[in-house]
């Protein structure tokens, strides 16, 4: 536990939305319990809140430690804390687990109170817009009157973008990192093959596996391995593994692991199944595929036109999952609308993973953006 | 059946190597039956033969038709035939199914004569060098005294390259298309996840499934889907599919196919399992991963130093599986060795698949190379 500039020991909290929420599919759904954490204090004007949104497989635990023996800090601890980029001395930070997730917020693995059994595939398919509705309910519950900022990387960035589109009056600024306004067909393809891997695992059993001795771990693990290939880039692969063999000097001439890159992917797949639910993976990747404000609002310009937020957009030059060209499309759209937008392409050898690794440069950029963009307006 | 400039109706033939062949792993193995086809005639000097080598999942049927009702010509029919790039009026063309394959040449699905059962995983793991030994035996059997050329795309190019390295005196020229002297860690990763998909299919049953009612079709199909993502490029994906939906106007809000790209991949996966054996996929991708003359001979320069072949190397600008940079590494090595090398990077929107699609430009380049490089020396 490293308490320097840490928010310290924190607890995940829970809030339940009892009223029905209308999903984009038309289905009305309740109740939804939301797992969330907060760091820092909401000020009297209720205008210093920042919503942090996690990526595909993240959770509400963005910073600090859960107990004294906790070795691993929250997933964005490097950026959230006293004097850090998201400075908890100034800001009230909120992070919640996504709708449909498996880390405390209601999802397909949650018990359906009407049946006493896990929802499985009876859980409604949802969209990024639906996840944002849930986040907004949480902020209302927490008495947040306006968001000083909303920030997220990768799929978290898509949600942050949708927040600006869905609640333009509510958001003062947005930090969109390593993200896109719509998945490319190639990114959809990777998600589709990942889902296919889960669905074709006999243990998946049409989503009804929670009471079975075997879960669709093989399918989920394989899906995760595919994902990890897209999170790294060619350069990162060469730097991390090259063609080096794993604990051997020559080929094994069998089908065990030969290369370090194989070992890395297998390990990533294996540790993932211990913390993630296969059905959640299906639902959340589907929401990602469906996200497309250009299609939904007629154009990206139309989608953003009511937003008055100030934008900081960050991309990474080696990110081939959500490449800089996609970030630039958002930047150009916002510029055409005469919005206040800053853009930074960070050089990194880390590919898409860079948004979770390149802290130092992101810290400087985000800190400067947050401190300057509404200078003097914040009641500290 | 389109007989214009076609080699017409052809038959796959078989040749069995009875003596033991020593594999790179140290294992000695026999018998090996080789499925092959030939087009054109071997001349009196036995010096007009061209060996065509297929890619990962190809077969011996490179040109012509198998019968009068055959709708589909051989896989490289556009380039092989009278007056085509590989001109059967001039050349004696040989193409055989790879060692370990499932289209006639002995592989894991073949019957082990000692047990009367399919080899399955008792089939020895082999390398590209081993596949070339088998091809050389076939050429000896056919009385070929020297190869006018050896040509292949993708993994076929790797084998053609190995032929030049293994039998430098025997090869007069080589046409290496969309290929590499070693897989990048990213390409290994894609192969590894594909294999993992097969191995984690319970129907795979440790490779022993030939007598079972269910074969590891799901795992093999998923492996093929992953492969197809790498054969296309981002641009090809946009051109072919974009984010268009498959036979619908709006999202289904379930886990069926929504996007055209999903439908395409599923179709490719489904048709593949009808023609390919899951164990062959494991063995052949492993041979691909193991191919690395730089490592084996100390350097690529050392590997090629005894070769006196003239080289034509072709890459495609949008191929990200075996990118042009890898082709250029081979070209530079050959230039440093003062070998006769021509290089052409073809602009194409088709990605790696281009080697099977961009016929017109390849036809011109290859025809010119083959007609000129040994001009006057050929006894027609």
Contacts of B27 (CB under 8 A, 6+ apart): B124
Task: Give residue B379's pLDDT.
Answer: 52
- Exposure string over A70-86, b if 16+ CB within 10 A, otherwise e: eeebbbbbbbbbeebbb
- Are A278 and A300 part of one and the same domain? no
Give the pair of three-digit tokens for residue A268: 């990533």
- Are B119 and B19 part of one and the same domain? yes
Give the pair of three-digit tokens for residue A180: 């896109």
Residue A217 lies in a domain: yes
Which domain, by its residues, includes B279?
188-284
Is residue A96 annotated as part of the catalytic site, yes or no? no
Task: Please identify, among A220, A253, A284, the residue that sits at the C-terminal boundary of a domain.
Answer: A284
Name the residue among A292, A373, A299 with its Cα closest to residue A336. A299
Name the residue among B193, B54, B55, B29 with its Cα closest to residue B108. B29
Question: Is pLDDT at B251 greater than 70 in this prediction?
Answer: yes
Q: Kindly determine whether residue B237 and residue A289, on different chains, have CB atoms separated by under 8 Å.
A: no
- Are B26 and B150 part of one and the same domain? yes
The set of catalytic residues of B is 154, 319, 352
Residue B379 lies in a domain: no
- B223-234 average pLDDT score: 96
- Are B134 and B240 part of one and the same domain? no
Residue B7 lies in a domain: no
Taking only the tens of pLDDT, chain A with its 380 residues reads 777 889 999 999 999 999 999 999 999 999 999 999 999 999 999 999 999 999 999 999 999 999 999 999 999 999 999 999 999 999 999 999 999 999 999 999 999 999 999 999 999 999 999 999 999 999 999 999 999 999 999 999 999 999 999 999 999 999 999 999 999 999 999 999 999 999 999 999 999 999 999 999 999 999 999 999 999 998 899 999 999 999 999 999 999 999 999 999 999 999 999 999 999 999 999 999 999 999 999 999 999 999 999 999 999 999 999 999 999 999 999 999 999 999 999 999 999 999 999 999 999 999 999 987 665 555 54
Which of A24, A124, A185, A188 should we substitute to test contact with B (largest number of B Cβ atoms within 10 Å)? A185
DSSP labels, B180-212: -SS--HHHHHHHHHHHHHHHTSGGGGGG--TTS
- Cα(B196)–Cα(B200) distance, rounded to whole angstroms? 6
In three-state form (DSSP H/G/I as H, E/B as E, the rest C), the secondary structure along chain A is CCCCCCCCECCCEEEEECCCEECCCCCEECCEEEEEEEECCCCCCCCCEEEEECCCCCCCCCCCECCCCCCCCCCCCCCEECCCCEECCCCEEEEECCCCCCCCCCCCCCEECCCCEECHHHCCCCCHHHHHHHHHHHHHHCCCCCEEEEEEECHHHHHHHHHHHHCCCCECEEEEECCCCCCCHHHHHHHHHHHHHHHCCHHHHHHCCCCCCCCCHHHHHHHHHHHHHHHCCHHHHHHHCCCCECCCCCCCCCCCCCEHHHHHHHHHHHHHHCCCCHHHHHHHHHHHHHCCHHHHHCCHHHHHCCCCCEEEEEEECCCCCCCHHHHHHHHHHHHHCCCCEEEEEECCCCHHHHHHHCHHHHHHHHHHHHHHHCCCCCCC
- B174-181 average pLDDT score: 98
- Are B344 and B299 part of one and the same domain? yes
Residue B210 lies in a domain: yes
Surface of B (35-94) touching A: CB under 8 A: none
- Are A51 and A172 part of one and the same domain? yes
Residue A244 lies in a domain: yes
The answer to whether A300 and A293 have CB atoms below 8 angstroms apart is yes
What percentage of chain B exceeds 90 in pLDDT? Answer: 95
- Are B216 and B327 part of one and the same domain? no
- Exposure string over A254-281, b if 16+ CB within 10 A, otherwise e: ebebbbbbbbbbbebbeebbeebbbbbb
The answer to whether A113 and A31 have CB atoms below 8 angstroms apart is yes
- Are B297 and B275 part of one and the same domain? no
Chain B residues close to A241, C-beta within 8 Å: 185
- Are A195 and A330 part of one and the same domain? no
Residue B102 lies in a domain: yes
Task: Please identify, among A224, A250, A284, the residue that sits at the C-terminal boundary of a domain.
Answer: A284
B72-76, long-range: CB < 8 A, 24+ apart? B73/B1, B73/B2, B73/B6, B74/B10, B74/B37, B75/B356, B76/B52, B76/B356
Mean pLDDT of chain B: 96
Task: Give residue B354's pLDDT.
Answer: 96
The answer to whether B126 and B24 have CB atoms below 8 angstroms apart is yes
Residue B239 lies in a domain: yes
Task: Give residue A2's pLDDT.
Answer: 77
- Are A110 and A149 part of one and the same domain? yes
Task: Give residue A379's pLDDT.
Answer: 52
Task: Give residue A373's pLDDT.
Answer: 65
- B202-230 average pLDDT score: 97
Task: Give residue B377's pLDDT.
Answer: 55
Give the pair of three-digit tokens for residue B221: 């199909």
For the CA atoms of A305, A309, A314, A315, what is the dihedral angle to 10 degrees?
A: -20
The answer to whether B158 and B129 have CB atoms below 8 angstroms apart is no
∠ CA B266-B270-B271, rounded to 5°:
120
The answer to whether B138 and B26 have CB atoms below 8 angstroms apart is no
- Cα(B367)–Cα(B179) distance, rounded to whole angstroms? 19
- B54-75 average pLDDT score: 96
Class of residue A247 by CB neighbours under 10 A (exposed 0-12, middle 13-18, buried 19+): exposed
- Are A56 and A120 part of one and the same domain? yes
Nearest CA in chain B to A243: B185
Task: Give residue A70's pLDDT.
Answer: 93
Tracing tokens 């600024």 back to the chain, one arrives at: A173
∠ CA A165-A49-A334, rounded to 5°:
30
Q: The CATH number of the domain where A217 resides is what?
A: 1.10.1740.110
Q: What is the pTM of this model?
A: 0.96
- Are A343 and A367 part of one and the same domain? yes
Prior bond to B110 cis, omega within 30?
no
Among A96, A154, A280, A348, the one annotated catalytic:
A154
- B254-278 average pLDDT score: 97
- Cα(A192)–Cα(A203) distance, rounded to whole angstroms? 18
∠ CA B143-B145-B149, rounded to 5°:
110
Task: Please identify, among A284, A307, A336, the residue that sits at the C-terminal boundary of a domain.
Answer: A284
Chain B residues close to A234, C-beta within 8 Å: 184, 186
- Cα(A188)–Cα(A105) distance, rounded to whole angstroms? 25
Q: The CATH number of the domain where B333 resides is what?
A: 3.40.50.1820
B246: Cα separation from own chain's centroid: 32
Instruction: Work out the pLDDT band at B117, boundaries 50, 70, 90.
Output: very high
- Cα distances from B152 to residues A39, B163, B313, B352, in angstroms, run 60, 11, 10, 13
- Cα distances from A218 to residues A193, A203, B278, in angstroms, run 14, 9, 17
Task: Give residue B5's pLDDT.
Answer: 87
Surface of B (105-124) touching A: CB under 8 A: 121, 124
Surface of A (175-234) touching B: CB under 8 A: 182-186, 188-190, 192-193, 195-197, 199-202, 218-219, 221-222, 225-226, 229, 232, 234
Q: Kindly determine whether residue A196 and residue B229, on different chains, have CB atoms separated by under 8 Å.
A: no
The total of structural domains in chain B comes to 2
Task: Give residue A375's pLDDT.
Answer: 53
Task: Give residue B374's pLDDT.
Answer: 61
Q: Kindly determine whether residue B261 and residue A218, on different chains, have CB atoms separated by under 8 Å.
A: no
Chain B residues close to A351, C-beta within 8 Å: none
Instruction: Work out the pLDDT band at B375, boundaries 50, 70, 90.
Output: low
Size of interface A-B (CB pairs under 8 A): 146
* Interstrand relation of B28-29 and B21-22 (parallel, antiparallel or unpaired): antiparallel
- B88-101 average pLDDT score: 98
Residue B1 lies in a domain: no
């Amino acid at each position: 536990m490293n308490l320097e500039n840490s928010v310290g020991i924190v607890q995940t909290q829970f809030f339940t939305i009892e009223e029905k929420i209308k999903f984009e599919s038309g289905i009305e759904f309740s109740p939804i319990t939301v797992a969330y954490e907060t760091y820092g204090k909401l000020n009297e004007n209720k205008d210093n809140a920042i919503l942090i949104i996690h990526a595909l497989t993240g959770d509400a635990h963005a910073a600090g430690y859960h107990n004294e023996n906790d070795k691993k800090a929250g997933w964005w601890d490097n950026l959230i804390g006293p004097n850090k980029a998201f400075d908890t001395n100034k800001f009230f930070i909120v992070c919640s687990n996504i709708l449909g997730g498996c880390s405390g917020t209601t999802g397909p693995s949650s018990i359906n109170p009407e049946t006493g059994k896990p929802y499985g595939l009876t859980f409604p398919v949802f969209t990024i817009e639906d996840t944002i509705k849930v986040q907004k309910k949480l902020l209302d519950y927490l008495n947040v009157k306006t968001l000083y900022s909303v920030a997220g990387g990768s799929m978290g960035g898509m949600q942050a973008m949708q927040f600006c589109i869905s609640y333009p009056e509510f958001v003062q600024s947005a930090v969109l990192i390593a993200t896109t306004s719509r998945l490319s067909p190639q990114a959809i393809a990777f998600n589709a093959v990942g889902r296919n891997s889960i669905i074709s695992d006999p243990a998946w059993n049409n989503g009804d596996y929670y009471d079975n001795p075997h879960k669709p771990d093989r399918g989920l693990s394989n899906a995760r391995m595919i994902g990890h290939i897209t999170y790294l880039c060619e350069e990162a692969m060469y730097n991390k593994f090259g063609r080096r063999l794993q604990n051997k000097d020559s080929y094994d001439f069998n089908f065990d692991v030969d290369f370090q890159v194989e070992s890395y992917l297998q390990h990533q797949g294996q540790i993932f199944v211990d913390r993630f639910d296969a059905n959640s993976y299906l639902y959340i990747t589907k929401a990602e595929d469906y996200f497309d404000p250009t299609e939904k609002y007629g154009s990206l310009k139309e989608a953003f036109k009511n937003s008055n937020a100030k934008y900081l957009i960050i991309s990474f030059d080696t990110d081939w999952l959500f490449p800089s060209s996609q970030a630039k499309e958002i930047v150009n759209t916002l510029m055409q609308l005469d919005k206040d937008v800053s853009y930074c392409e960070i050089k990194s050898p880390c590919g898409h993973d860079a948004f979770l690794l390149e802290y130092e440069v992101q810290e400087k950029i985000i800190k400067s953006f947050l401190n300057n963009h509404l200078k003097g307006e914040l009641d500290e």
